[in-house]
Amino acid sequence: MGREGRARRKFSAALKAKVALEAIQGQRSIVELAGEHQVHPGQVTHWKNRLTECAEQVFASGGPGGARREHEELVAELYQQIGQLKVELDWLKKKLSKN
Over residues 83-94, the mean pLDDT reads 94
Tell the burial category of 23 from Cβ atoms under 10 Å away from its Cβ (0-12, 13-18, 19+): buried
Helix, strand, or coil (residue 52): helix
Terminal alpha carbon distance of the chain:
81
What is the per-residue pLDDT for 84? 95
Instruction: Give 51-85 pLDDT, tens digit per residue.
Output: 998 888 777 766 556 677 888 899 999 999 999 99
Angle, alpha carbons 27-30-32 (nearest 5°):
80
pLDDT of 2 strictly over 70? no
Interval 16-58: pLDDT, tens: 999 999 999 999 999 999 999 999 999 999 999 999 988 887 7
Rg over alpha carbons for the chain, rounded to the nearest Å, is 26
pLDDT of the residue at 57? 76
